[in-house]
Copies of this chain bind each other. A is one copy, B any other.
C-alpha cells in the first residue's frame, strides 16, 4: 500500500469538514447504496452543498443532480463514490480532474474478494489517488461520519442518531462499527468522528491516529482492528503521539478460525494476537476486550479526568452491587482503599450505626438523606488515597426521587477525580436524570457495577499506559 502520508501532507481534515459533498451514483432506488448515502447526508443536517451525480436524473431526493462530476458547477471537497468496481478507475480520474480533496469509496469488489483482479484494481486506485494527493476512505466501507459537522457521509442514515461527544471511532469492520454505534445509542456514548476504514487503499490507522490526535473535538481515539498488513507504521505513529490523548484498541482475531475470516474480509491477515498486545503496549495504546468494554472505556475516557492512582472509594445504597464492584476492582488492579482517620470520622458522623463506616460505604437508611450522601461523597473524594469514586444506586419504589436529588446535589460540584456510577432503575424511570447528570459532567453511568468498576480500571490503565509504566493488565 502506498499511503497518503508518504506525500507528507495528509490533510485528512477535509474528509471530516468538507464545504461540499458530491455523491457519484446518487439514486432514488432504495435497493442501491446511492439512495442510502443521499438519505444520510440529507437527514443528517449537513449544511454544505450536496451534489448528486447521476446521468439519468435531473434531481435526486429534491436536490438538483448532475450528469457527471465534471459538470458539477462548484468546487467539490469530498466525493462519495457508490458505483460498481469496474467503473471506479474512470471516476477516480474524474475526481482528479475536478480537483476534489478527499473521497469515500463505498464500493466493494477490491482486495477483499478472492479474484486477484480486485487487489490489482485497488492498488491502481491507491496509486492514482496518492499521486494526486487525494486521501481515500475505503474501498469496501460504509463511509465516515463527523457528528460535530452533522456530516453523515455513509450509507447508514441512523449514524445521524448517535449522540455527539468526544469519542472518535476508527473501525476496520463495517459490521462491528454499526454494532458499536447501535449499542452506543443505548448507553449514551457520544461520538465525534466515526470512520470505516474498509480495505485501506491509501489511508490507514496511522494516518487517522495522527489526524485525530490533533483534532480538538476528539477526546479519545478508539480503534477497532482485525489485523493490518504491517502494523509498524501505525505503532510508530501511535508512539509519536503518546502523551496527549488516550488511545484504546479492541482487536479481534485471536481465534485460529478468526484469521481466515479476516483475510477474506478486508484483505489482510489478522496476524498473531500476542504480537499485537505487545505492540499496543509499546505504542501507549490500551487494549480492551469486547465490544461493551470498548464502549465503556471510551465513554469513561471521553468524559472523566484520568485518575492519579489506583485508589477507589465505593459508595453504595446496597451491599450486593458494591461487593460485585469490589471483586472486579481488585481483579483489575485497583485498590479499595482504607480511608484516612479524618475521612472515617466525617463519615461516621453522617451515618447511623447500621451502616458500614469504611470503604465500601454502605449508606444504609442514610441513602435517602441527600445531605448525608453529599457529605459522604465529599469526604471520600477529598481523601488523599482516593483517586476514583464508584457510586452505586439501585432504584426502589421508596427512593424514586433519589436521582432527582443527585442532580441537585452534584450540579453544584465539580471534582478533579473521576466519578463512575451505576444508577439502575426500570426502563424509562431514571433515564432523564442520568442523562442530565452525565451532561453536567457530574458522573458517567454504566449498566452494571461490574462494568462501572471495569471502566474505572481502564481509566487507570490509560493513565498507566500514558506513563509507559503499565502492568500486564494495562497493555
Contact = CB atoms under 8 A, between A and B. Distances in A.
A408 interface: no
A290 B450 contact: yes
A113 B291 CA distance: 41
Interface residues of A, number: 90
Contacts of A115: 353
Tallying the copies of this chain within the complex gives: 2
Contact of A257 (B266, B270, B359): B359
Given A109-B354, A179-B422, A254-B331, 12 more contacts: A108-B354, A155-B396, A161-B426, A175-B321, A176-B320, A179-B449, A224-B320, A257-B330, A258-B326, A258-B327, A265-B323, A266-B319
A174, A177, A447: residue with the most chain B Cβ atoms closer than 10 Å: A447
Contact of A448 (B262, B290, B394): B290
Interface string A446-460: 011111000000000
Contact of A185 (B36, B266, B290, B426): B426
Contact of A39 (B176, B318, B394, B397): B397
Interface of A: 30-31, 33, 36, 39-40, 108-109, 112-115, 142, 155-158, 161, 171-179, 182-183, 185-186, 224, 226, 252-258, 260-262, 264-266, 270, 290-292, 316-324, 326-331, 336, 353-354, 356, 358-360, 362, 392, 394-398, 422, 424-427, 429, 447-451
Given A330-B254, A330-B255, A426-B185, A322 B396 contact: no
Given A291-B449, A448-B292, A182 B326 contact: no
A310 B380 CA distance: 48
A91 to B, nearest CB: 21
A87 B52 CA distance: 78
B397 A173 contact: no
Contacts of A319: 173, 175, 226, 261-262, 264-266
B331 A448 contact: no
A252 B336 contact: no
A322 B329 CA distance: 30
Contact of A261 (B322, B394, B448): B322
A179 B394 contact: yes
A175 B226 contact: no
Contacts of A448: 179, 183, 290-292
A41 to B, nearest CB: 13
